[in-house]
Amino acid sequence: MPRRNPYPNAPAQSLPLRKHNLYAILACVQATISPIEVEQDGLSADLFAFIVYLHKNCNADLFEAVGALELTLTQIKLLHHLEDQGRELTLKEAGELVHVSLPAASRTVEDLVRRGFVERREDADDRRMKRVGLTDAGRSVIRRLNAARLSGLAQFAESLNAVERDRLAGALSILLERADVAACRPEGLTP
């Protein structure tokens, strides 16, 4: 059925705007993206492209190391969390950090204990609770994975020309002024 014109006497080109139409127009205007948001979206897209490039082209050594160690991503994440925490974690805390159930955390930890990468012990105050800590062998695994990551990035840095290298170093030096970023520098390479 054709829609009936609510203003039959008005010419088609001069239909009056109704209140809800004005609200719709206002909503469209307000939804317009500001130049700052466009810049941030562009920066995010550029950063994404750079990180994807690095992942695709600089991780061969890392993937080889992960394959040789036969570690799952969950196990790698747990080892890194244990290192970052600098203390023993309860099994529950460990599971929450890597987003797995308590039984899955227990299986993950059991495999890492069997391989000597972590230690598990009963809590001194509550024997029902288990605590998990990183061993020297676990720290060695993290160093090996970080060295593999660094190797790929070193190869990328070598492929840069002098101008690219200087510009990248300048941008990174600004970001490395942030303590949370600087804290991620590899061991022994802090300026």
Q: What is the mean pLDDT of residues 50-79?
A: 91
Q: Supply the Cα-derived Rg of the chain in whole angstroms.
A: 28
Give the three-state DSSP class for 99.
coil
DSSP state of 187: T
3-state SS record for 4-61: CCCCCCCCHHHCCCCHHHHHHHHHHHHCCCCHHHHHHHHHHHHHHHHHHHHHHHCCHH
Return the domain boundaries, the chain. 45-159
pLDDT tens digits, one per residue of 113-154:
999 999 999 888 888 888 999 999 999 999 999 999 999 999
Q: Give dist(CA 114, CA 77) in Å, integer.
A: 17
Whether 37 has a pLDDT exceeding 80, the answer reads no
Whether 95 has a pLDDT exceeding 70, the answer reads yes
DSSP state of 124: S
Predicted TM-score (pTM) of this structure: 0.69
Long-range contacts (CB closer than 8 Å, 24 or more residues apart) made by 5-13: none
pLDDT band at 166 (very low <50, low <70, confident <90, very high): very high
- Structure tokens of 99? 């987003």
CB 79 within 8 A of CB 138: yes
CATH number of 45-159: 1.10.10.10
Instruction: Give the DSSP letter string of 164-177.
Output: HHHHHHHHHHHHTT
